[in-house]
Amino acid sequence: MAYYHRLGNIPPKRHTQFRQPDGSLYKEELVSSKGFSGIYSNLYHIHNPNNVQKIGKPTPYDWKIAKEHGLNQTHLKTAGVSTTGKDYLSARKMLMMNNDVMMGICSPEQRKMDYFFKNADGDELLYIHDGEGVMYSQFGKLEVRQGDYIVIPRTTIYRFEFKEEGPIRLLVIESKGPIETVKRYRNEVGQLLEHSPYCERDIRPPHEMYTESEKGEYLVQIKKQGMLHPYTYGHSPLDIVGWDGYLYPYALSIHDFEPITGRIHQPPPVHQTFQAWGFVICSFVPRLFDYHPLAIPAPYNHSNIDSDEILYYAEGEFMSRKGIDRGSFTLHMGGLPHGPHPGTVEKSIGAKATEELAVMLDTFKPMFVTTQGLEFVDPNYPMSWTE
């Protein structure tokens, strides 16, 4: 994150006495990255954050690469999926992965989590394709709605409550490294520049403290090294009265991303929204097409020599593709050229604008379909460029 935020009650100086109404000390917790040299926040607990009551047996929670899939341009047909599991964790299905990042879907039947989740393996980015609700974490309440990106730093303890009406469909990205704003859009002190496609005003941190002071049994499912570790604490992890710092979850709506356009077709980096180790995330949003008198709005053919490209189609019609539905994924692998489907180039000429929404993930190492992803593979897609 690029700016300081605070919520609730905190002492005037860190690492000093801060007392509760009964005279006892609040328990300070530093949540820091890169040891003590990265961004961090200081949290103030009513209870001891180490108050573990019970540790359950760990269970596997990981995904495997489907090596038999081979080198194929890939379409994953997930548009027709209504639910992917009973609860938030069982519904998370990672469909593609490499050593830097995993990507998949989550459509739980249950709308309210009866446990908390902490990902100690990686940072997360969720795209709310369908649904509306509240994310509760140590950092407070964060209202989420359709079109939101939710950036969740690793070890954030959280749970979701979604509203009862309508479907829930989440795009889930898990990263080995931190997910950050784009470096070339920041100045030397971290502020987003004037020509950035979004600014700090568009970023929504938690807006209200939500403090649970009662004692009891509270389950936190902790993901670490591909296992789920059930930890039961003697109080809620939301026993925070205040915090401040630079490390916290936040939301950014894809609808607040302002597109960069030009006289001729602009390459995908102009759509970049986030960066991380080994990949970038881009947002394709409604925008005017190119305005050169001989412009071709459809993208040109492209041969990835050192990256893989994944597109998640959210809304509208992607004019360079045929047979792609809302909620589809395409994976175009390095080593193979990809481009518009036959007939779409000529059809695009003269078009003035697009209403499409899509999330793109470009990786700098090969991306692989998982064994769970195989069930959604469209076998006809690799040959779909045949005239």
Distant-in-sequence, close-in-space partners of 210: CB < 8 Å, separation ≥ 6: 136, 140, 141, 238
CB atoms within 10 A of CB 96: 26
The identity of residue 177, as a single letter, is G
Which phi and psi (to 5°) does residue 228 adopt?
-100, 125
**Rounded to an integer, what distance in angstroms lies between the CA atom of residue 119 and that of residue 109?**
21
Does 229 show up as a binding residue in the annotation? no
Residue with token string 């064994």 = 371
Residue with token string 């409550």 = 161
- Short-list 222, 227, 278, CA closest to 98: 278
Q: Are 20 and 199 in contact (CB under 8 A)?
A: no
Chain centroid, CA 113 distance in Å: 19
**Rounded to an integer, what distance in angstroms lies between the CA atom of residue 366 and that of residue 337?**
15
Bridge-based pairing state of the strands 203-204 and 5-8: unpaired
Does 121 show up as a binding residue in the annotation? no
Strand, coil or helix: what is 302? strand
Active site residue 265: yes
Choosing from 265, 292, 332, 341, the catalytic residue is 265
Longest dimension (CA), the chain: 78
Strand, coil or helix: what is 113? coil
Bridge-based pairing state of the strands 116-119 and 215-224: parallel
Task: Find the angle CA(8)-CA(29)-CA(192) to the nearest 5 degrees.
Answer: 65
How far from each other are the two terminal CA atoms of the chain, in whole angstroms?
A: 47
Burial 109-126 (b: 16+ CB within 10 A, else e): ebbebeebbbbebbbbbb
Residue numbers belonging to the annotated binding site for Fe cation:
302, 308, 338
Residue numbers belonging to the annotated binding site:
302, 308, 338
Q: Cite the active site residues.
A: 265
Residue numbers belonging to the annotated binding site for homogentisate:
338
